Structure 1
């Protein structure tokens, strides 16, 4: 069970399948057979640069064909693929590359402006391999050898003696987004990546097959793009890569042109796509399934896509879970609101994994849909430790403490109420920020909404609602509070409201509640208080 096996299956059995990269006005296409040969050339080229063991080879790239070639070549040659998050702050990027001890960086030339300011500080990097054309002058003087990707491949043999690899050895690594403290490295073994890919292909997950065309909008630098590239190659499904074109208008044109059947992205992306599609009468009906996660998926977003003939399915996971751990398909025979209750949850855990809810003192709580506790999970594609950082507070007895808080129903559906650090404790009672956000985003004039707890003299904490209003719409805090009044208990209604142009996001597209809390402390938000 190795990445090499996945690569050989894709290139050999499904050689006619293809990967296409969007250029903004068309695509460039290669078959999996061609990708397999180019992966062999890349492995040979990297060997020539001194990668001869489990050294880390980093990528600093968009979702494109060359990134897929690195996904296949680097682990299959025995090295470790390290995907660098191009949205991180420079100091975090430097920390991650140095902590992982990256030896080579494969970078898109379009990202030279982001790489140049930090390159000299990457202590273990010896070589930079550039994909595409760009001005390399900003990289010169950093003490690294610069190479052209296509020139390296052209000079390398078309075949490579792929080594026999221990399936439990490291294949890839990805660092958490580091919302508190430094990011932490999660290492995926060949075995874990293979089993995760198999699970993704099952009907209870995404049901991928050779009949599919998969569009990973979620970045390949974030938890292996939810495992979609490996799963697609394993299943013989063709891939369509968006490259740097991640805004609603080019994504919609890409979907209409290439007709993908499965596409994965975070809710903020799909919210923009839905608005654009409705405004322009776009045809997205090639999509049979849209896996969505990274943060809670508003029911209003799922219902909005149903109106244009597209089904969103909510999935849950994290970097530490490879990442897909549960998927929210409704149970057989469900009808009416029972369907939506299941779809609005985080779903049922995939076969091979175990999940439980624990309370204070690690007491295991009942699966009754009512007991609220921290979600713990274990299984063959769940990490057991961080790279060079044991962090015993997160791991115990084979279980990962996820930091998510929620309930488990008798039939196994997970409903998250919050992140442990985001739960609002008001007067001894818990308020779910996620529930308030989902209700607010169901309002027709609300584009985004994030709720955080802020200090309150009487109640310890109270919710602050930050809202982005639809262009051209007018809605007041009082109207939104009234909208919520029929949906949550009166004591949960926010008194503090702020209207903003955009909710701050983390490097992987989640709402940055840490930033919102800091903005409130610093007085950077105009807050209305209503009762």
Structure 2
């Protein structure tokens, strides 16, 4: 495992490349992990040593086993080069094992992009690490930062973002239209709402927006370029069974690590539980993870669908929809809204938008305003922390104006 201080997260990159040259597999620690999450990752990965970019190399006394990555010679398993972890947005991180070839396929699928390439997030996120290694693979100049600042945008180059940061970029563009514009924006990590896509085309008419749908388990699954349809990338076969998407891909990880032992995935189709529709022409529509579905009053509500509607409202920076306990409905659809500088639409305005776009069961009944949603290092909302904060009352959020007590 490679550890780096929060102030210099990208100092892990040379060590990652050096570890790869030795034929070993590396796991990049996330400084944002809680003690419980770190302990769980160490127990599953069982690394043979911990490399610290600001200190000496140490044997792994934290996990106690020191068994390291899976033996590539056992059962003819290809050698992994990376032990990525899932984001932990909906639960504890899972340790995976990925081969070098699986990402080389993705590098070729995405193709060469204009440089320089800005990566404004931590290497512990596979979204940003993939972008950085993709740039190096294609010989492009790489610029890494720990946080996104629109002033760092490379004129005519490429930037990798999640949708919340794309919204931040566009907000800045409205305030500073003369700043340099990137040639390409690569956006992943969550669905890009149509309104955000249209806003990007309006404010950055000379910029190509590449959206991709993927997962830590399957890497690149489907691409959308400049508002076109979302389609599977070459080599990936998709199927939908009982509303759940199954993926058969050469980019799939070898498997998951449990107590230092590799639990293989495949060969063949596998799923992370995303719900989707697949058209006869191959067009893919993803509705989100089954784990982010709320059962309210006997109806199943896909939170991503509600979030997409609300993110289109002017003044909203981001929104997370979650369920809070209700004696009659089971769970109450609750919207936690983040606005720029705490100024945004009223509850009445949001309810009006919800009435126009959503059926009654999907409309939020509880509205909360927060100055800043808890986030993962990748920039995605930390859903598990938000759910916990709503349950125990510790979330930094207040009722929206016109919403006494935050309840209907």
State the TM bucket, normalised to the shorter chain. Answer: 0.7 to 0.9
**Distance in 2 (alpha carbons) for counterparts of 1:70 and 1:520:** 40
The structural deviation recorded for 1:431 is 2.1
Aligned residues, how many?
Answer: 385
What pairs with 1:240-259 in structure 2 (closer than 5 Å)? 240-242=143-145, 244=146, 246-248=147-149, 252-255=150-153, 258-259=154-155
- Cross-structure match for 1:234: 137
- Assess, with a 3 A threshold, how the Cα gap between structure 1 residues 230 and 517 changes in structure 2: closer, same or farther: closer
The structural deviation recorded for 1:260 is 5.3
Of residues 252, 275, 286, the one that matches 1:382 is 252
**Distance in 1 (alpha carbons) for counterparts of 2:77 and 2:186:** 28
The structural deviation recorded for 1:120 is 7.3
- Cross-structure match for 2:73: none
What pairs with 1:262-341 in structure 2 (closer than 5 Å)? 262-285=158-181, 287-309=182-204, 310-321=207-218, 323-329=219-225, 339=227
Decide whether the 8 Å contact of 1:305 with 1:311 is kept in 2: no
Structure with more relative contact order (C-alpha pairs < 8 Å, separation 6 or more): 2
Of residues 320, 331, 353, the one that matches 1:450 is 320
- Cross-structure match for 2:292: 422
- Cross-structure match for 1:103: 49
**Distance in 1 (alpha carbons) for counterparts of 2:172 and 2:339:** 16
TM-score where L is the length of structure 2: 0.82
Q: Which ranges of structure 1 fall in alignment gaps of 5 or more residues?
A: 1-56, 113-118, 126-165, 202-207, 331-338, 360-372
Of residues 329, 349, 352, the one that matches 2:232 is 349
The structural deviation recorded for 1:384 is 4.2
Decide whether the 8 Å contact of 1:68 with 1:229 is kept in 2: no
- Cross-structure match for 1:520: 390
- Assess, with a 3 A threshold, how the Cα gap between structure 1 residues 396 and 463 changes in structure 2: closer, same or farther: farther
The structural deviation recorded for 1:382 is 0.4
**Distance in 2 (alpha carbons) for counterparts of 1:180 and 1:530:** 24
Backbone CA RMSD of aligned residues: 3.2
Q: Per the alignment, in what secondary structure is the counterpart of residue 328 of structure 1? A: strand
- Assess, with a 3 A threshold, how the Cα gap between structure 1 residues 290 and 477 changes in structure 2: closer, same or farther: same
Q: Per the alignment, in what secondary structure is the counterpart of residue 297 of structure 1? A: coil
- Cross-structure match for 2:122: 219
- Assess, with a 3 A threshold, how the Cα gap between structure 1 residues 521 and 227 changes in structure 2: closer, same or farther: closer
- Cross-structure match for 2:86: 176
TM-score where L is the length of structure 1: 0.65
Decide whether the 8 Å contact of 2:294 with 2:300 is kept in 1: yes
- Assess, with a 3 A threshold, how the Cα gap between structure 1 residues 314 and 224 changes in structure 2: closer, same or farther: closer
Decide whether the 8 Å contact of 2:217 with 2:252 is kept in 1: yes
Decide whether the 8 Å contact of 1:462 with 1:494 is kept in 2: yes
Decide whether the 8 Å contact of 2:128 with 2:378 is kept in 1: no
The structural deviation recorded for 1:478 is 1.9
Q: Per the alignment, in what secondary structure is the counterpart of residue 401 of structure 1? A: coil
Decide whether the 8 Å contact of 2:91 with 2:384 is kept in 1: no
Decide whether the 8 Å contact of 2:88 with 2:382 is kept in 1: no
**Distance in 2 (alpha carbons) for counterparts of 1:222 and 1:327:** 20
- Assess, with a 3 A threshold, how the Cα gap between structure 1 residues 297 and 100 changes in structure 2: closer, same or farther: farther
**Distance in 2 (alpha carbons) for counterparts of 1:458 and 1:167:** 52
- Cross-structure match for 2:97: 187
Please tell me whether Structure 1 or Structure 2 has the larger radius of gyration of its CA atoms: 1
Q: Which ranges of structure 2 fall in alignment gaps of 5 or more residues?
A: 67-75
**Distance in 1 (alpha carbons) for counterparts of 2:30 and 2:285:** 29
The structural deviation recorded for 1:433 is 1.4
The structural deviation recorded for 1:379 is 1.5
**Distance in 1 (alpha carbons) for counterparts of 2:308 and 2:190:** 11
Decide whether the 8 Å contact of 2:86 with 2:216 is kept in 1: yes
